[in-house]
Amino acid sequence: MAELAHGTQPEFWRPPVPSVEKELAVQETATSMAQVCPGCGTEYLPGSRFCHSCGGKRPLGAVPTAKTDAGLMVRLREQLTEAARTTASIFSLPGSKVPSWVHYLSFHEIKMRVGLPTASLVAFFIGIGCIAGALLVGLLTAKTLVDWQAIQFYRAEWLLAATASFTAGILLKKPSDTNR
C-alpha cells in the first residue's frame, strides 16, 4: 500500500489530460459563457483569480476589478430602471389617470410624514401586521375548550411578536436633538 503513494503527483488537484472531444466542448462553452476556465470549462466565481474546480489561474484580463464591478452595477441599475419604465407604460391603460391620493401611500412619503428612520418604520409596520394577525386569529371558531385555548395561545403569540417589533422600532429610532 505504501508503494502506491510514491507514484502520485504532488499537485493532486490538477485534472487529467483532457481528450480532444472534451477540449472542443470546453472551447465551445468558453465562447458562449461569460468567463470560463480554459482548462475545465467551469465558470469562474465573481472576483476569483483561480478556478474553484481545477485550480487553474484565471487570465489576467479576465479578473474583474472594483472599478469594473461598479460600472457594471451602474449599467445594470440603468437597464433595470428602463425596463421598469417600459413595463409600467405597457401595463398602464390609455387614458387612465392615477388618483391624487395614491402618492400618500409611498413609503418615502409615509417616512417623511411620520418622522421615523427606515428601520423603525419597518418595525412599526411589522408590529401593525402582528396586531392584525392577533385580531384575525380571533375570527377562528372553537368547538372545544382545547381549540379555544389554542386560539388564545396563537393570539398571545401574535401580540408578543407585535410587542417585540414595537420595542425594536423604539430601540432603532435615533434620538433627536430636541430630546437632549
The number of CA neighbours under 13 Å toward the Cβ of 85 is 6
Q: What is the pTM of this model?
A: 0.44
Grouped pLDDT means (10 residues each) for the chain, 180 residues: 58 56 54 68 79 78 55 78 71 67 77 85 93 89 88 93 94 73
Domain boundaries of the chain, sorted by first residue: 101-179
From the number of C-beta atoms within 10 Å of its C-beta (0-12, 13-18, 19+), residue 46 rates as exposed
Q: Are 173 and 115 in contact (CB under 8 A)?
A: no
Cα 122–chain centre separation: 17
Cβ-Cβ contacts under 8 Å for 144 (sequence gap 6 or more)? none
Contacts of residue 52, Cβ cutoff 8 Å, sequence gap at least 6? 42, 44, 45
